[in-house]
């Protein structure tokens, strides 16, 4: 018995199109604050553009994510922030965060730790820091970002 892969693919495409349509309908029905009105295509895939019906509201930014390593998994739960909150952030604090993350040795620390768990002494050796005090200085700056 031979399989007709073309027919099977066509069937799967039809099923996928129906599933996408059902998801759109569910999203449209469950949305009480906004209406989904426009669908755009780009090189990476499809995305929806929502027109916010709120008066004077700058909108909301939603984010979440996950990182799956060989031995560990990090997961960030979905969060949302008003765009007004982001626009009203203290510029000094934002600059401090960006400069802390943009430092070469701190980026090297983050990259090394993501590759495998390391002790402080191993980090000092691997990154040619010289002293654990130098490592402490950079780790402290990264920890201050979370507070």
Q: Which tens digit of pLDDT belongs to each residue from 131-147? A: 889 999 888 888 877 66
Same domain, yes or no, for 67 and 84? yes
Same domain, yes or no, for 3 and 22? yes
Mean pLDDT for all residues in the chain: 77
Same domain, yes or no, for 18 and 32? yes
Same domain, yes or no, for 10 and 64? no
Range of the structural domain that residue 23 is part of: 1-50
- The count of domains in the chain is 3
Same domain, yes or no, for 64 and 102? no
Distance CA 99, CA 121 (A): 25
Residues 6+ apart with CB under 8 A from 81: 60, 61, 63
Q: Which tens digit of pLDDT belongs to each residue from 41-67? A: 444 556 566 665 555 577 888 888 888
Q: Which of 70, 88, 106 is the last residue of a domain?
A: 88
Q: Which tens digit of pLDDT belongs to each residue from 90-100? A: 888 888 888 88
pTM of the complete model: 0.45
């Amino acid at each position: 018995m031979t399989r007709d892969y073309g027919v099977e693919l066509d069937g799967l495409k039809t099923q996928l199109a129906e599933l996408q349509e059902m998801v759109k309908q569910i999203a449209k029905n469950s949305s009480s604050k906004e209406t989904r009105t426009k669908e755009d295509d780009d090189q990476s895939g499809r995305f929806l553009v929502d027109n916010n019906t709120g008066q004077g509201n700058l909108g909301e930014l939603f984010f979440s994510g996950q990182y799956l390593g060989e031995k560990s998994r990090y997961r960030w739960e979905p969060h949302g922030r008003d765009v007004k909150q982001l626009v009203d952030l203290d510029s000094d604090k934002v600059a401090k965060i960006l400069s802390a993350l943009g430092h070469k040795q701190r980026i090297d620390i983050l990259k090394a730790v993501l590759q495998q768990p390391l002790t402080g002494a191993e980090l000092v050796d691997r990154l040619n820091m010289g002293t654990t005090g130098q490592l402490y200085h950079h780790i402290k700056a990264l920890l201050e970002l979370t507070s």
